Amino acid sequence: MSSFPIILSAPSGGGKTTIAKTLLSRREDLGYSVSCTTRAPRPTEVPGRDYYFISRAEFLAKREEGAFAESAVVHGNLYGTLRSEVERVLATGKHVVMDIDVQGAVQFMRAFPHSVTIFILPPTAEVLLERLRARQTESPAQLAARLQSALQELQQVAEYEYIVVNDDLERAVSSVESIIDAETVSRERVKNLRHQVGLLIERLEQEIENSTS
């Protein structure tokens, strides 16, 4: 099987992290690339499982070395995906589930152009606003920044191959699974066809060489 990265993007509160975690819990053909961030861990987060929590100086040094497939500033904090982490998971034959925002996805596609891009869309603006406000962990200024970021991300929806509306978690997860399965079959078919074409070309070249010698 040819493994590939799966990029899940959504405005903050769109549910991409929940969908990613659900997919990883039920499918053995998926792996997760742990990202780096300079923000402090939240109470339920575990270093090395949810993120690599590193200092700003360490992050900048890694970025200078070209260690990141993508990196971005999100609400004042630095986030980045290590190339080595993505390659490690792909080498096991698993698809890599990437939970990254729009600006990170653009960079990531340059490093891994065979990625599948999926935008997770909230069903309505009111639902999105309700999810953002429900956190109750941010100041008004932080909430305003998230709203502005959500607007900018929604304006990039057309750049994604697939759009999944997250009006029901189970239905959204099933839709993403269908996309993964379809892409897997399609890419295997293309790979096999290219191999078959290669054999045909090789055989014809041999015949032409024999007929002209």
Distances (CA, A) of 212 to 5, 203, 204, 206: 47, 15, 12, 10
Please give the pLDDT value at position 155.
82
Arithmetic mean of pLDDT, 184-192: 80
Please give the pLDDT value at position 138.
66
**Is pLDDT of 112 > 80?**
yes
Arithmetic mean of pLDDT, 176-205: 82
With 0-12 / 13-18 / 19 or more C-beta atoms within 10 angstroms meaning exposed / middle / buried, residue 12 is buried
Res. 135 pLDDT band, cuts 50 70 90: low
Q: Residues 39-89: pLDDT tens digits? A: 999 999 999 988 999 999 999 999 999 999 999 887 789 999 999 999 999
Q: What percent of the chain has pLDDT over 90?
A: 55
Please give the pLDDT value at position 175.
96
Instruction: Kindly give the interhelix angle for 16-26 and 169-212, rounded to the nearest 10 degrees.
Output: 70
Please give the pLDDT value at position 1.
54
* DSSP 8-state assignment for residue 47: B
Arithmetic mean of pLDDT, 178-195: 83
Its sign, for the CA torsion 105, 106, 112, 118, is positive
**Is pLDDT of 136 > 70?**
no
Q: Residues 6-32: pLDDT tens digits? A: 999 988 778 898 999 999 999 999 999
Res. 182 pLDDT band, cuts 50 70 90: very high
Query: Which fold is adopted by the domain 5-212?
Result: Rossmann fold (3.40.50)
Q: Residues 142-160: pLDDT tens digits? A: 777 777 877 888 888 889 9
Arithmetic mean of pLDDT, 189-203: 74
Contact 156, 162 (CB under 8 A): no
Please give the pLDDT value at position 211.
80
Res. 94 pLDDT band, cuts 50 70 90: very high
**Is pLDDT of 209 > 90?**
no
Q: Which two tokens stand for residue 55?
A: 């200092």
* Residue ranges of domains in the chain: 5-212
Arithmetic mean of pLDDT, 128-149: 75
Mean pLDDT of the chain: 88
